[in-house]
Chains A and B, each alone.
Chain A
Amino acid sequence: MKKYTEDHEWVSVEGDTATIGITEHAAGQLGDVVFVELPAVGTKFKQKGEMAVVESVKAASDVYAPVSGEVVAVNQAIADDPAKVNADPEGASWFVKIKLSSRSELDRLMDEASYRKLIG
């Protein structure tokens, strides 16, 4: 199951693990990503909490947690080479994996059709 937020994060759920990243649209709007700051494994986030930072040449943007939970893995590859975010934002360039604490939060997120409508 893949869901989307109004802040242009995506979350893909398998079992009780959610993989989170930023959408193609977000990566395109940001432009070339030059810096990514990821949380430490073990950090707990509430839904909509500031989870990561992504910066392009010109601007910084926060990445918010689409759902509450505890970070179980981070993608060090995008911190080491931030340009990877632009290359494959909804695939290999995921940001974090978290252990879901509340599945019902997923219901409040958009499905793909609704997100496509949002970005026009």
Chain B
Amino acid sequence: MTESLKRTPLYDLHLALGAKMVPFAGYEMPVQYTDGVLKEHLWTRERAGLFDVSHMGQAFFCSKKSPGTEEAHQDAAAALETLVPGEVRKLKKGAMRYSVLLNEDGGVLDDLMITRPLRDDDQGRLFIVVNAACKDDDFALIRAKLGGRADLEICDRHNAFAGARALLALQGPCAAAVLESIAPGVAAQPFMSMQPREWNGADLLVSRCGYTGEDGFEVSVREEHAVGFARALLAHPDVKPIGLGARDSLRLEAGLCLYGHDLDLTTSPIEANIAFVLGKRRRAEGGFPGADRILKEAAIGPRRLRVGLRPEGRAPAREGAEIQSEDGRQIGVVTSGGFAPSLNAPIAMGYVDAAQAKSGTRVALIVRGKPLPAAVADMPFVPHRYYRDQEKTT
């Protein structure tokens, strides 16, 4: 290690919980606890898992207009829309969107969450959460491109408004009941919404979202309250701490992209099969980086597509494995692959020529020099179980 690794506010707690720590995106992070990846994965699908994702970048993107007005929201949203292809201006108060930061070639610089705050007083501020490995570049880009139009207030020690903040994810079928028991009101919160809550005098920003395919929450909390809040969640018998290893296998089963692997500077959102990030109005109007390429691909189809892959047998195909057609031509490459504990079988995702992207297409994955038979498969591999409001009435 040439550079010293950063630690999250939960570092000592991870050690106390028996975590195995590894370097990840410049941080010392828990890859697993004493139960190990397999049990942690299954526990999250059956009960609730607590993840420390404090390494991710949190910031507020703020209009220079006086806050608390629709005008200020429109101003901040219009500015951010110059870097992302999603609908930000018409986001409802308290609603969040998954989006991507684009380069001029229509490649993905990072994926992120963009949230419009619920409170009237906070209008004109957009809460963004970006990947740890990209955050310095993302923030520098936003300031360089939009510094004249808006202020980026990163959630660090210098931030007088929001402070330095930890981010904890609670995921799994028991997550809502557990969080409700210490932060009443969250159980009825809509999917993809953020609401402010209070816990023991600490302000929480509770978002109903996640990276596992399960119902769950991501909770932003000032770092001085992070350990207490994490301990309060872990005190519940349905909650166990879960490391990055299971976080990866859970998101792979859910068919979700990992930046730097399934998404990068060369992949467009259309190729990545996340065309839903394009807002309807944005498709018509353009006005985002790489719009020419992206709208063309949206209209006539991309050259290649991200697909799911199901190898036969038990051998996993890992990132970098070549994908061949049945007649032995290279048609793509695996970008994420491993073993799916919930399916007790290997799964992968990768990019293939668009002509070979249909579900059920027979392919071969080259593993240790040998062709491993596999088929293109629908994603998610494990059905999403996100919270839907309608469930209350059925």
Contacts and interface: CB of A to CB of B under 8 A. Distances in A.
Contacts of A34: 38, 314, 316, 339, 341
Contact of B318 (A31, A32, A60, A82): A60
A40 to B, nearest CB: 13
Contacts of A1: none
Contacts of B38: 31-32, 34, 57
Contacts of B315: 35, 37, 55
Contacts of A56: 37, 339
A31 B316 contact: no
Contacts of B338: 57-58
B32 A35 contact: no
Given A31-B32, A31-B36, A82-B314, A57 B339 contact: yes
Nearest to A50: B368
Contacts of A60: 316, 318
B368 A58 contact: no
B138 to A, nearest CB: 27
Contacts of B39: 32
Contact of B245 (A35, A58, A82): A58
A58 B249 contact: yes
B368 A53 contact: yes
A32 B36 contact: yes
A92 to B, nearest CB: 20
A12 B367 CA distance: 30
Contacts of A35: 314-316, 339, 346
Interface string B284-320: 0000000000000000000000000000001110100
A56 B41 CA distance: 13
B149 to A, nearest CB: 43
Contacts of B37: 31-32, 56-58
Contacts of B341: 34, 57
B248 interface: yes
Contacts of B31: 58
B370 to A, nearest CB: 10
A35 B344 CA distance: 10
A60 to B, nearest CB: 6
19 contacts: A31-B36, A31-B38, A31-B245, A32-B36, A32-B39, A34-B339, A34-B341, A35-B315, A35-B339, A35-B346, A53-B368, A56-B37, A57-B341, A58-B31, A58-B37, A58-B245, A58-B249, A60-B318, A82-B314
Interface of A: 31-32, 34-35, 37, 53, 55-58, 60, 82
Which 8 residue pairs of A and B lie closest in terms of their CB atoms, listed nearest first?
A32-B38, A34-B339, A57-B37, A35-B314, A57-B339, A31-B36, A58-B245, A32-B36
